[in-house]
Amino acid sequence: MKIDDSFFKTLVDKMNDYGIFSIDSKGIIVSWNAGAEQIFGYKETEIIGKDVKLLYTEEDNKEHIAEKELTIAEKRGTAGDERWHIRKDGTLFWATGFVIAMKDDNGDVIEYTKFVRDYTSRKLQIALPTNTVDVMESISDAFFALDKDFNFIYMNKKAETVLNRKQKDLIGHNLWEKFNEAVGTSFYDNFIQSTKTGTSVYFEDIYKPLNKWFRVHAYPSKDGLAVYFMDITKEKQSELILQESEKRYKNLYDTMIQGVIYYDSNGHIISANPAMERILGVSADELVSKKKIRDSWITVNEEGFPFPSTEDPIEVSLKKGKKIKNVVMGILLSEDSEYRWLKIDAVPQFLPGSKKPYQVYAIFDDITEQKRTQHMLDMRLKLQKAISRLGHLALSQQPLHELFQEATQQLSDILQVEYTKILELQPEEQNLILRAGIGWNEDVKPNISTVGMGANSQAGYTLMTNKPVIVKDLRTDKRFNGPPLLKRHKVISGMSVILQGNDGPYGVLGIHTKVKRIFTSDDVYYLQSVGNMLALAIQQNQTEQELRDSEEYLRLLAETIPQLVWITRPDGYHEFYNRRWYEFTGLSMTESEGSGWSTLLHPDDIDRSWKTWKHSLETGEPYEIEYRFKDRATGEYRWFLARALPVRDSNGEIIKWFGTCTDIHEQKRTLEELERSQKQFSALFSSSVIGVLYCDLKGKIYNANDAFLEMIGYSRNELEAGKIYWDKITPSEFKQSDQTATQALMQTGVAPAWEKEYIRKDGSLIPVIVGAALLNKESTETIAFVIDNSERKKLEARKDEFIGIASHELKTPLTSIKGYTQILERIIHQMGDDRLKLYLKKTNTYIDRLNSLISDLLDVSKIQAGKLQMDYSRFKFSELLTDGIESMQHTHENHSIELKGDVDASVYGDRHRLEQVITNLLSNAIKYSPRANKVTVEVKKANKVITVGITDYGIGIAESEQHKLFQRFYRVEATAKRFSGLGIGLYVSSEIIQRHGGKMWVESTPGQGSTFYFTLPITKNLQV
Amino acid sequence: MSTKVLICDDDEGILEVATIVLEQAGYQVTSLHSAENIVQIVEQVQPAVVLMDLWMPDVSGETATKRLKASPTTKHIPVIVVSANKDTEIIAQRAGSDGFICKPFDITDLEKAVAKYSK
């Protein structure tokens, strides 16, 4: 529209001599311009609303010419008009013109615009042709006259100009010769027809050789043809352009995004385009029925005030006849919706010659979105400025109250409200205290004045609702009891939002007005934003305080504890170490920072440590790991237990990691040892054989295993009840040995095993072997191991008993027999009976043999019981040997015992036992060589060892049997039946020699004899 | 007045053998079957020497020897312990005995021992 506007205007200007008026589809005149008034004589006010037929002659009306014109225009878009019309004063005038039909989208005619020109003068001239050249020349149309053969007989100057030919070139010449291109055209046809029929013709056509449009009137006469014509090229072009423009305009009108509304000269809406419908959301008909926008809806100006009628662009445009541009108007289309913002141009429409617009059209853009965006941007800018300003204050760590002062002032300025306030919640006092405010009376003082909680104040209510509270009218608001403070200040509207602190709400931010104010969503948004920003500052303030407190505390703590202490950022960057760290690691501050700590790790621990550390950083789980750090003093790795916990702010965000490294090197090693020892011990403790008990040196028994309890016959309950004391279960005769053990414990920490007895619960005694070790010198905690010794004791007792009984019971009668025999010997000796003497001597020999057998048997028992006693003395070995041989020779006369060699050495030993050995060996030699008559004894000394070999020439011993000879009760199988004996002699002899530090062995050849050897060391102190 | 010898043994045979041998040797022999009240008897008899069997029921030779050696009235009297087990000589010594004879003994050894301690 804007584009075509100027052109359209130009067009209308060019048609100043036209009367232009519009007719609706029913033939009623709806508009009337100044030109029409001039031509027809009717004033606009007189003719509007009248039927167009008023302007036609009675004859034409009978033929429905007016309707026909419109019908043609409707069909073809335009219709020519050339006829008589009636002026207001009743006079007729010849009019030429045309009608244009204006159609809507559906092709239906909205209205017709008729263009009319007064052509009376020309009509008269044509109707009453004169032959005078003056007349011809004076007329404005071109004219030429033709004879019957179409030869030029006259042409005026105008014709020369229009046809671009000279009179002299054409006069006397044939038209069709001179203009042969016209042959066959409408010109030709019309001229021929006119002359033939004798009727005048009127037509318009283009003459192509000249590229000109002509409007031609040809009047035939008996002399020829008079042709009036005029160049209407421009007119035609204009007409076409107009048609084109109209079409384009129409299209534009329909399709443009801008809304267009037509107003009549009264400022009433006539029509509107589809864009209007879209923008305003009402149909064109609906809008037309409303007549005026400002009467139908609330309209505001850019400042939000009711739109003043004096600035209504339509009114102004109509009144001033001027185009009004860029008027912004907000229309509240419904109560629920927001303002729809229009940017309006009002363009007045004039009829030719009229200075008063006959209509105005408003063309408008919907700038709601643009305005909203702009508004938002403005608000954001404001906000950003405010936040930037307040944020700066917050960051500069100014006291909160200064920030509050600034914020309340800003709010007051930006939102144009009379009162602003910041209240802090005092939960304990059950009220809210004023921290800052603007606009309040003097008696309302920050940090003193308070308002109530809950529904007793707007602030209290805000805290309850937990969202922004908007009060349209305090006087009618039923949500809370309008607090005295607000009522006293005549507050009507207001808003309040919660200020969130770190731990729940800090308080409330509020604004209030004395006049009724509808707060827009932007206002709410802004207030909330300031509130959020303040909350941020409050939280930051609180957090910073907490942070300062916690960090100072952490670092103070770090220096006081003996471990290596470190603090990292949430990302794990080490930013602090205590002095101990630097002392231990020898690293500088810069070397330690960041991840410098890991360079000290034992290579085997690096991966594991990083993995664990990263896991903790990602999850926030406590960090705990054991790893090795290099000790700068020794260069050795030491085990550390590293632990770290996240330090969180009140929002739960990790702000630091606080970590320690504790040297656990010794503990770890000790622990390993302990673990092993504990494992061993626990096996011991659970042993069913060894009794284990814990006690102190005062004799209090703390704990004992089942084995011990079983030994002493008490239950665990009795132990736990403290019924068992060392003294209580120890017979008095062992107090002394216990005392000795206690002293050993005190002095050396260990008491060598000692034998003692315990008194069992049933009063019986149990012999035990006890060993003890002091665990803790101060508490005298002692562990004792107890072995049940009763079986061994029983066995020992039985062996002792056996030996005792055997000795007593066997030897006692033997003693009597021997005694009586000897008494008898004495008596018979006096009687001198040789035979009796011999028998008694033999009896004595057998008694000795029996005694010897009993002794051997007892010796075996003693050896077994470890009770073979030695009675050491120093004596000459050779004497022993000689005595032994002589003693044997005395009772065994069949064999001669030959002694070879001699030793001059004294030995330290049990003479009796050694003689027993020699006797045993000699008696064996004799016994097992019954067919021989000789036994050889050889003695020698070498390297302080006496070696004695006793050789017989008897049956000998197989090699396989030789080593078994010295076993107890062993008897050579093959000879056992032939030779009596217990098989204990060699066993006892061998034991006696071993007890003297010597050896005994045999060399033998079966069937040839054997040699039994033994050695005796000559050392002074024999091993006993 | 012949020398007094007191023999204490629970075995009848040994008591008789010893009595025969020692009486023939000229000693005045008192024989006891049991060591009960040994101190009182020895006090009363006042032997030059006591032959004491070690292995006896009720009061053992060891105990009896100890008692004799513990009593001021009898401790000066030599006690010869007689035992079937040579290894018990040390017990006898610890009890305070003066001599030891092992069973079975030669009667000459008995005579020699009594002669030795009764001088």
Predicted confidence band at A198 (pLDDT cuts at 50, 70, 90)? confident
Mutate to test the interface with A, among B10, B15, B51, B85 (most CBs of A within 10 A): B85
A chain contacts of residue B17, beta-carbon cutoff 8 Å: 815-816, 819-820, 823
Q: How many CA atoms lie within 13 A of A31 on its CB side?
A: 26
Of all residues in chain A, the one with the smallest CA distance to B13 is A816
Q: Are the Cβ atoms of B105 and A820 closer than 8 angstroms?
A: no
CA distances from A424 to A500, A504, B11 (A): 10, 12, 119
Lowest mean pLDDT among A128-132, A305-309, B16-20: A128-132
Q: Are the Cβ atoms of A869 and B104 closer than 8 angstroms?
A: no
- Distance separating the N- and C-terminal Cα atoms of chain B: 14
Predicted pLDDT at A295: 80
Q: Is the pLDDT of residue A1014 over 90?
A: yes
Predicted pLDDT at A13: 41
Q: Are the Cβ atoms of B103 and A811 closer than 8 angstroms?
A: yes
Q: Are the Cβ atoms of A812 and B85 closer than 8 angstroms?
A: no
Chain position carrying tokens 């002493």: A712
Predicted pLDDT at A390: 66
B chain contacts of residue A820, beta-carbon cutoff 8 Å: 13, 17
- Run of H or E residues at A112: strand A109-118
Predicted pLDDT at A220: 83
What does pTM read for this prediction? 0.35
Mean pLDDT of all residues in A672-677: 75
B chain contacts of residue A814, beta-carbon cutoff 8 Å: 103-104
Q: Are the Cβ atoms of A816 and B11 closer than 8 angstroms?
A: yes
User: In this complex, which of A811, A819, A912 lies closest to B107 when CB atoms are compared?
Assistant: A819
Its ipTM equals 0.87
How far is A898 from A900, CA to CA, in rounded Å?
A: 6
How far is A808 from A82, CA to CA, in rounded Å?
A: 185
Mean pLDDT of all residues in A331-337: 78
The SS3 assignment for A384 reads helix
Q: Say which DSSP state A749 is in.
A: S
Nearest CA to CA, how far is B73 from chain A (Å)?
29
Give residue-wise pLDDT tens across range A230-244.
Answer: 888 877 777 776 676
Q: With an 8 Å Cβ cutoff, is B21 touching chain A? A: yes
User: In this complex, which of A812, A862, A868 lies closest to B14 when CB atoms are compared?
Assistant: A812
**DSSP3 helix / strand / coil % (chain A, rounded to 5):** 45, 30, 25
Lowest mean pLDDT among A388-392, A956-960, A1015-1019: A388-392
Nearest CA to CA, how far is A689 from chain B (Å)?
34
Nearest CA to CA, how far is A686 from chain B (Å)?
42
Q: Are the Cβ atoms of A813 and B13 closer than 8 angstroms?
A: yes
Predicted pLDDT at A122: 54
Predicted pLDDT at A14: 41
How far is A221 from A200, CA to CA, in rounded Å?
A: 9
Predicted pLDDT at B116: 93
A chain contacts of residue B104, beta-carbon cutoff 8 Å: 811, 814-815, 817-819, 847, 851
Nearest CA to CA, how far is B99 from chain A (Å)?
15
Of all residues in chain B, the one with the smallest CA distance to A867 is B87
Give residue-wise pLDDT tens across range A11-46.
Answer: 444 444 667 888 888 888 988 877 788 888 888 888
How far is A807 from A803, CA to CA, in rounded Å?
A: 6
User: In this complex, which of B17, B84, B87 lies closest to A819 when CB atoms are compared?
Assistant: B17
Q: Are the Cβ atoms of B55 and A808 closer than 8 angstroms?
A: yes
Lowest mean pLDDT among A382-386, A671-675, A709-713: A382-386
Chain position carrying tokens 């079983």: A710
User: In this complex, which of B17, B85, B106 lies closest to A820 when CB atoms are compared?
Assistant: B17
Of all residues in chain A, the one with the smallest CA distance to B19 is A819
Predicted confidence band at A1024 (pLDDT cuts at 50, 70, 90)? very low
Give residue-wise pLDDT tens across range A35-83.
Answer: 788 888 888 888 888 998 888 888 888 888 888 888 888 887 777 777 8
Q: With an 8 Å Cβ cutoff, is B113 touching chain A? A: no
Backbone angles phi, psi at A918, to 5 degrees: -60, -45
CB pairs < 8 Å spanning A and B: 75
Q: With an 8 Å Cβ cutoff, is B106 touching chain A? A: yes
B chain contacts of residue A841, beta-carbon cutoff 8 Å: none
Predicted confidence band at A251 (pLDDT cuts at 50, 70, 90)? low
Predicted pLDDT at B62: 92
Mutate to test the interface with A, among B12, B14, B17, B20 (most CBs of A within 10 A): B17
Of all residues in chain A, the one with the smallest CA distance to B11 is A812
Mutate to test the interface with A, among B29, B87, B89 (most CBs of A within 10 A): B87
Q: Are the Cβ atoms of A820 and B103 closer than 8 angstroms?
A: no
Predicted pLDDT at A125: 44
Q: How many CA atoms lie within 13 A of A761 on its CB side?
A: 13
- Compute the CA torsion angle A156, A157, A158, A163 (nearest 10 deg): 90
Q: Are the Cβ atoms of A816 and B87 closer than 8 angstroms?
A: no
- Secondary structure string (H, E, C) spanning A21-81: EEEECCCEEEEECHHHHHHHCCCHHHHCCCEHHHHECHHHHHCCHHHHHHHHHHHHCEEEE
Nearest CA to CA, how far is A788 from chain B (Å)?
28
Backbone angles phi, psi at B102, to 5 degrees: -95, 135
| Of A934, A925, A944, the residue nearest A997 (C-alpha) | A944
Predicted pLDDT at A403: 82
pLDDT higher at A525 or A447: A447
Pairing of strands A906-909, A269-272: unpaired
Mean pLDDT computed over every residue of chain A: 81
User: In this complex, which of B86, B88, B105 lies closest to A815 when CB atoms are compared?
Assistant: B105
Q: A512 — alpha (psi -120 to 50), left (phi > 0) or beta? A: beta
